[in-house]
Amino acid sequence: MSAEATIREGGCLCGAVRFSAKVSTREVHGCHCEMCRRWTGSAFLAVTVPVREITWTGSEAIRRYQSSDWAERANCKECGAPLYYHVTTEGPFSASLELSLGLFDDPSGLTLSKEIFIDHKPQAFAYSGDHPRLTRKETLAGFGISEEDN
């Protein structure tokens, strides 16, 4: 789904890290995988934004953590807020960041459009809406990854 590009701003809890991003999607993705759950405490809701469309302020306060062989997760060094997920292996995915929805000053107009690893979601909560909900197996198949690689 394409949408008119909007300049959206946001930042972490303490304000040390801020961004301005040209966002040309309205789609929010939710991930319930174990790593996202442990990282965020619930699920990771994010908006895909090309790296080149994001301008950071206070980037020296960004701490990157290599969470797997193929991706890193960034947090604010000061307040710990999750900032983004980034695929680091060569390929089309590395050109974008999954920017945390929680950072946006004004998330209006952004809509949950897909949930992945739905079979790993804790029973304690569920997001509403009529959108695709992919199991772990379906999610990995979509990325061309076999179960064993994960």
Give CA separation, 130 vs 115, 126, 127, 133, in Å.
11, 12, 10, 9
Distance of closest approach, residue 4 Cβ to Zn ion, in angstroms: 28
Which residue number, 21 or 36, has a Cβ lying nearer to Zn ion?
Answer: 36
Lookup: tokens for 75 = 């947090």
Length of the chain measured in residues? 150
**Please, which residue, 15 or 107, has the CB nearer to Zn ion?**
15
Smallest distance from the beta carbon of 37 to Zn ion, in angstroms? 8
Residues near Zn ion (CB under 5 A) are 12, 14, 16, 31, 33, 36, 76, 78-79
Nearest to 81, CA basis, from 101, 109, 55 = 101
Nearest CA-CA partner of 94 in 74, 68, 72, 64: 72
The rounded distance, in Å, linking the Cα atoms of 64 and 77 is 9
Q: Please identify, using beta-carbon distances, which residue of 14 and 101 lies nearer to Zn ion.
A: 14
Closer to Zn ion by CB, 2 or 125: give it: 125
Contact, 42 vs 33, CB < 8 A?
no
Distance in Å, CB of 135 to Zn ion, minimum: 13
Could you tell me the smallest distance in angstroms from the CB atom of residue 33 to Zn ion?
3
